[in-house]
Structure 1
């Protein structure tokens, strides 16, 4: 039985889930390496929620769902790419992931929204004033920080520590080499390492290599998201799959004070799931089912909206403010969303229609709660009402497609083991979870499945390590 710590690379939700499960359930020591100077990765910014099928929260709202239906939605969204066994595992373990977060970390996860590509509402978030990613990451990281102080023999956390090499011996992991912020190299002896290092959506170099047509798009990714893990795993001989499958999210906020910034705040999909609609500034009209999959909505924006700046208008009603008050207050504080009357909207955004015509457009959308939407949207929530006038107030922001998520990465199996090109585990003791891995999402990730992937496969990696020690 190995007594060396498990090395977890990365402190996004995948790394935090892996480490918490290892220490809390199996009492296995961990050393966590994070190249940034703070914990959380991109996970801390996730703002729509985490998926789960057949959960207690769904039962509370009388929503009928099943892991099989969730798997079917995932496979459909994946469009023939990825690994269906991993999609099945994601769906099957989803209620366990929600239960684990609620029971182990006292998270409510008591509210739901239905995002694009989902058959039912299954994306969980908590009532309260914290965004889902921040709330979940904070709960898991606080537990580990506490243990690092009280039980340093069980948990060690090294920030500003970039992994530069994985050493192997006899076809097994033997050590990890990392650099601190002063460029000094350190070696940790370890027989197990879990890559949870995230994607490569910030790396222009890797985007140029795998998806050159996306290089000029802005991104929602933090500057740490440069594919270091993918490069190391490729060098080791991992089977890198679907690397050219990169998700462009249709709605990144345009900051009016810095319109050309290459980094954008994400306009969470929950904003559309809970009632937000998209208008084409060139017509002042709706142009797409806002709850189609992200690739389809993105294509509609890019083909139909003004080509010079590729923007759409995200419009939300007063009723929705009650559901997402904290999100909208934050976006308004950042001046990404304004509260305006429809007359002001027409004037401010120079729409080619009158305020009365815009009123009719919003009123027509509201009527689709009782009759078919011509664009095929079936979830009509928080509609604008039947008495919309030019003086009706709405919440509105400009949005544009953004590089958001890299679906490809190192192929893993259902035990979270990294797979080599011979379809066998590459090295004994080598695991991956989260965005660094490939196969879970195929050609298009469903909203709410990134946080879920982190929890499901992080916990699986921990279980596989425990079973093997």
Structure 2
């Protein structure tokens, strides 16, 4: 391996697809180089690129393990990355709240749920590692001051209720406390700092990074590029590439600019690209997940997403053309997204389905008032009014509601096999709250391959690239075809903590 120059591997990226070359044009290209003769502007102990769940958890764990000089670099003006605007949903098996509520769960059960959603190609070892340490990550958020709703949710594809949600119903309820805690512990944070490439040692190990100061996203900036030596190593926690339209279209041509996206604008994949150039293994790039809880009536993640996630267990999703249900409302994300995309009018045009919930049950979630206030959801006093508004066949809709309410009564859904535990005593009855559903690009299952120690694997040797670690959505292969909702926060935090633990032992 010593005879192979990692920096000569740039053509390796060409294997990612015909449009990959075009994808490289959108985000400004980072270029790594040999460190021989480089003048170091700074020498730091621990370098973390990205300030989301993974990066913040890594920084805190580094200080706890004795690191004295920990630095987080964030390319955007604000900290938190894509994590700050996610749903704030956190799956934990065997959690304190499950014990309090008498819910039986285990690492094995959560992993089994994830493997089913992954359609046979998820990484069982990594899933088990994350699930086994999820409680440690939860404890870190609690120590930082994160606050969660008093209830647990059962999201699609999960066999039991195991999901916490922040009281603000978004990821900022975790990233902000973690950021505050990390700074209090002495972590140095730098925003508007763009990653420009790795600096490589004589044995092809990562010894540092190039970071551009005073970077303003989407603009060409003259800010100075600093050569920063990383004494212990570099952790890349730069997230996914859902906002890189060229790259996602290279994997799935249907994911054009017309398809909505829930991600922050900075999710463009530069860190992932540069690791590929070093020889990192690309895994599952074509598996890009769409959120089945999103709404076509608002931009980004919006208010409807968390509203829908909370209400799916005790609601009915209706095809407006037929007036009937068309899916199990709490199936895994891919199953539901595919089902929603099949809802079309007589001419084959998209006809976003509707989610109908009894107002008395929907209003228990704080987003209900916002959904109605901002006209991305509606309240109806009768089924006739509802059917007229959305041009749904009234007779068929009434029959469907009656049939579904019988499932609520018996506890068994013979139509789609929905787990009715969370629907107990929650009948579909007026007044109703209704939102429209249509999937949006949400999560990239693909990225670089990592070990259970968060080491980035080399495609030529199968061994770790020394000095380089990765955590969070920038990694690939963990979830397989489809990630279960609320499993990204434990993955990001656990793998961020793991990266530091590996680094500190190296």
Mark yes or no: TM-score above 0.5: yes
**Worse-superposed segment, 199-208 or 132-141:** 132-141
CA distance 1:15–1:58, shift in 2 (3 Å): same
- Work out whether residues 46 and 67 of structure 2, in 8 Å CA contact, stay in contact via their aligned partners in 1: no
Are residue 285 (structure 1) and residue 324 (structure 2) matched? yes
Q: 2:353 — aligned with what? A: 312
**Worse-superposed segment, 135-144 or 310-319:** 310-319
Match of 1:14, SS?
helix
Q: CA deviation at 1:451?
A: 0.9
**Pick from 325, 337, 343: which aligns with 1:298?**
337
**Pick from 437, 461, 471: which aligns with 1:399?**
437
User: 1:450, 1:264 → 2: CA distance?
Assistant: 15
CA distance 1:230–1:430, shift in 2 (3 Å): same
**Pick from 272, 278, 296: which aligns with 1:236?**
278
Q: CA deviation at 1:334?
A: 3.1
Q: Deviations over 1:339-388 (max 9, x none)?
A: 2223332222122225xx54443343232122421111013535785683
User: 1:301, 1:114 → 2: CA distance?
Assistant: 20
Are residue 209 (structure 1) and residue 250 (structure 2) matched? yes
Q: Deviations over 1:380-409 (max 9, x none)?
A: 535785683xxx211111110111100010
Q: CA deviation at 1:106?
A: 5.3
Q: Deviations over 1:11-33 (max 9, x none)?
A: 11111111121124434422111
Q: Deviations over 1:95-150 (max 9, x none)?
A: 22223322454544642111111111111124x4x114121112111223445xxx
Q: Which aligned pairs between 1:153-232 and structure 2 lie closer than 5 A?
A: 154-169=186-201, 170-180=203-213, 181=215, 182-184=221-223, 185-191=225-231, 192-215=233-256, 216-232=258-274
Q: CA deviation at 1:426?
A: 3.8
User: 1:161, 1:387 → 2: CA distance?
Assistant: 51
- Work out whether residues 203 and 226 of structure 1, in 8 Å CA contact, stay in contact via their aligned partners in 2: yes
- Work out whether residues 82 and 438 of structure 1, in 8 Å CA contact, stay in contact via their aligned partners in 2: no
- Work out whether residues 95 and 135 of structure 2, in 8 Å CA contact, stay in contact via their aligned partners in 1: yes
Q: Which aligned pairs between 1:60-459 and structure 2 lie closer than 5 A?
A: 60-105=100-145, 107-108=147-148, 110-126=150-166, 128=167, 130-147=168-185, 154-169=186-201, 170-180=203-213, 181=215, 182-184=221-223, 185-191=225-231, 192-215=233-256, 216-255=258-297, 263=300, 265=302, 267-268=305-306, 270-306=309-345, 307-324=348-365, 326-341=366-381, 342-353=383-394, 358-369=397-408, 370-373=410-413, 374-381=415-422, 388=429, 392-422=430-460, 424-459=462-497
Structure 1 length normalisation: TM-score? 0.89
Q: CA deviation at 1:223?
A: 1.1
Which 5+ residue runs of structure 2 have no aligned equivalent?
1-42, 216-220
User: 1:108, 1:131 → 2: CA distance?
Assistant: 9
Match of 1:234, SS?
helix
User: 2:504, 2:147 → 1: CA distance?
Assistant: 26
- Work out whether residues 411 and 424 of structure 2, in 8 Å CA contact, stay in contact via their aligned partners in 1: no
CA distance 1:317–1:166, shift in 2 (3 Å): same
CA distance 1:229–1:387, shift in 2 (3 Å): closer
**Worse-superposed segment, 175-184 or 196-205:** 175-184
Q: CA deviation at 1:436?
A: 0.2
CA distance 1:137–1:183, shift in 2 (3 Å): same
- Dislocated runs of 4+, deviation >4 Å: 382-387
**RMSD of aligned alpha carbons:** 2.3
Structure 2 length normalisation: TM-score? 0.83
**Worse-superposed segment, 232-241 or 90-99:** 90-99
CA distance 1:386–1:207, shift in 2 (3 Å): closer
CA distance 1:387–1:463, shift in 2 (3 Å): closer
Match of 2:412, SS?
coil
Match of 1:251, SS?
coil
- Work out whether residues 35 and 161 of structure 1, in 8 Å CA contact, stay in contact via their aligned partners in 2: yes
Q: Which aligned pairs between 1:28-47 and structure 2 lie closer than 5 A?
A: 28-47=68-87
Q: Deviations over 1:140-167 (max 9, x none)?
A: 11223445xxxxxx42211111101011
Which 5+ residue runs of structure 1 have no aligned equivalent?
148-153
User: 1:336, 1:48 → 2: CA distance?
Assistant: 21
Match of 2:342, SS?
helix
User: 2:469, 2:105 → 1: CA distance?
Assistant: 31
User: 1:313, 1:386 → 2: CA distance?
Assistant: 17
